[in-house]
Structure 1
Amino acid sequence: MTLHFLTSNYRVAFEEYFQPHQQRNAIDLLQGHIAEVRDGTEDRRRELDVLRPQDTTPEQVEDRVAAHLNKCYWQLAQFYRYSTPCRISEAEPALREVLRYSQAKGARRDVAPELYLAVAIHKVPEKEQEALSMFASAFDHFDEHGAPALGPRSELWARASWARLLRRVDRVRDAEAQERAIVDWIVSHPLVLPPAKLRDLVSDEADSGALNNIVEHPEVQLAVDKARAGRGTRG
C-alpha cells in the first residue's frame, strides 16, 4: 500500500491545488490513518505497510510505529498550516508529539516544529509566555546556526507571528526588530516570493499592524522595482 498522503508531493498539492473541502477531507483521512496505526493490531499495521518484515521484536515494532506516527503528525501539522483558512491552532497536539519524539530520540535540533508550535499557541492568552520563550529560543538557534530545511516562507511566517505577539505584550522595540528582519529579508530577496504570497505569509486579518501593508513598504517597493528593472535590462 502506498501512503500517498504522507509524501511531499501530496503536501505541495494540498497547498497549491486542493480546494478547502479537499483539504478537510485530506486532514480527515490522515487523522483516521493515525488512529488506525496508533490503536491497531500488529497484523493491521503490517497490512498498512507500517511495519517491515524485519520488525519482529517488540522494541523494533515500537520504534517503527513511533517513527511512522512522527511522520504522520508532522504532515498533519503542515496540512493544518496550509489549510484555507489556516488552521494552525489545531496543530498543537500533533506538534507536541513531534517534539516529544525528537527529544526522546535525542535528534539534532530542528527549529521548524518549535516555530510551528509557537505560532499555533501564540494567540492563546495563557500560553503567550510559552510561545514567547519558544520563539526566542528557536530563532536564537536559527540565527546562530541556520536551518536550511526551514525555508524563507516558514521563517517570515513565524517572525510575523512573533512580532504581533511582542506588540500585544507591549514589547514594541522587540517587535520592531522582528519587523525589520522581515523587511531586510524581502529587500535582499525581492523577487523570490510574489507580492500576494508575501502578504499571505506575514499578514493577519485580525491585526491592522504594519506587516499587513508589507508589500506597500517603501523599501520593499523600491527593491522590487529595481530588481524587476534589472531583470528586464538583462532580458
Structure 2
Amino acid sequence: MATTSTFILDPYFGELFSSYTPAQQAANVDSLRTLMDKIQSGDAHARREMGIMSHPADGEEDAEDEVRVALAQCSWQMAQLLRFSSPPRLAEAEPYLRTALAHAPNDPDPTLYLSVVLSLNSARSEEAMSTYNGIINASGNVYTNAWAGAALARMLRRTGRTAEAQTLEARAVASLRGLPPASVRMLLPSDDTAILEHPAVRALLGSDSASATGPGAPLRKSTAVTA
C-alpha cells in the first residue's frame, strides 16, 4: 500500500497511537476510515496505486479477494485503534470486527475483542458469553486473553452471576502470571475492585506503586488477520 496506509496499518502503530492526543487519535481513526472507503469504492487503477491489486492482469475474482483481505486487515486495525483511543471507543468496533471475522472466522483475537464489545451491552450478555466460550480454548495473544476474561467477568458481576465471574477471573489471573506489574495494571480496569483485590493479582502487583491506566494498553504486537 502507499506510504500513509502502510504506516497506519503497521502492527506497532498502536504503541505510537496510544501516545497521541485524543484529537490526533480521532484524526487517525478518520484517516483509516477514509482509506477503507477508497479501497471499497476505488477502481482498478486506484487500487493498484494503493497496492491492493498486485498485478494489472489480476482477474476480477482475484481482485475481489485482495480487496476483502485488505478490508479485513484495515478493520482489525480499526478495532484496535478504537480500543486504544482515549477515551476508549471500543463500543464502535463491532462492524469492523464482523468484517475481520468474515475473512478469518476462527481468529481468536478478533473474536475475543468481539466478546468484549458485546459485554458492554447488558442485553447481549448471553451472546457475549457464547462468543467468548466458543474461542477461549484456542491459542491467542496472552494479553488479549487476560483482558477479555477480566472484561467478561466484570459483565457477569454486573448481572449478579458472581460464581461464573469468579471462574473467569481465575482464568484471567492465570493468563497474567509472569507479566511485569506495569503490564498487569494496564490490562485491568482501574475501577474493577473484584479482580484487583484477587490475591494472585495482588501478589503479581507486589509493591509496584504505578497508578493503573485502564485496559487500553498497546500490548498487541501483531495486527495480522490469520488467512
Structure 2 residue 120 is the aligned partner of structure 1 residue 123? yes
- Structure 2 counterpart of 1:61, which letter? A
The match for 1:100 among 84, 87, 102 is: 102
Within-5 A mapping of 1:180-199: 180-186=170-176, 188-189=177-178, 192-195=179-182, 197-199=183-185
How far is 1:46 from its partner?
Answer: 1.5
The match for 2:64 among 44, 62, 65 is: 62
Contact 1:164 1:175 in 2 (8 A): yes
Summarize deviations over 1:26-53 as a string: whole Å, max 9, x none.
1000000001111111121122221111
Tell me what 2:43 maps to: 41
Contact 2:146 2:173 in 1 (8 A): no
How far is 1:126 from its partner?
Answer: 3.0
Structure 2 residue 25 is the aligned partner of structure 1 residue 6? no
How far is 1:198 from its partner?
Answer: 2.7
Q: CA RMSD in A?
A: 2.3
Greater gyration radius:
1
* Distance in structure 2 (CA, Å) of the matches to 1:153 and 1:133: 20
- Structure 2 counterpart of 1:174, which letter? E
Tell me what 1:233 maps to: none
Contact 2:184 2:205 in 1 (8 A): no
Helix, strand or coil for the counterpart of 2:160? coil
Summarize deviations over 1:88-113 as a string: whole Å, max 9, x none.
1110000011111224xxxxx22111
Within-5 A mapping of 1:168-187: 168-186=158-176
Helix, strand or coil for the counterpart of 2:145? helix
Contact 1:156 1:182 in 2 (8 A): yes
Q: Taking structure 1 as reference, are residues 162 and 193 closer, same or farther at Cα in structure 2, changes over 3 Å only?
A: same
* Distance in structure 1 (CA, Å) of the matches to 2:129 and 2:92: 19
| Identity across the alignment (%) | 30
- Structure 1 counterpart of 2:185, which letter? R
Contact 1:55 1:61 in 2 (8 A): no
Higher helix share: 1
Helix, strand or coil for the counterpart of 2:52? coil
Residue segments in structure 1 that go unaligned for 5+ positions in a row:
104-108, 228-235
The match for 2:147 among 154, 157, 173 is: 157
Structure 2 residue 86 is the aligned partner of structure 1 residue 84? yes
Contact 2:48 2:56 in 1 (8 A): no
Q: How many residues align?
A: 205
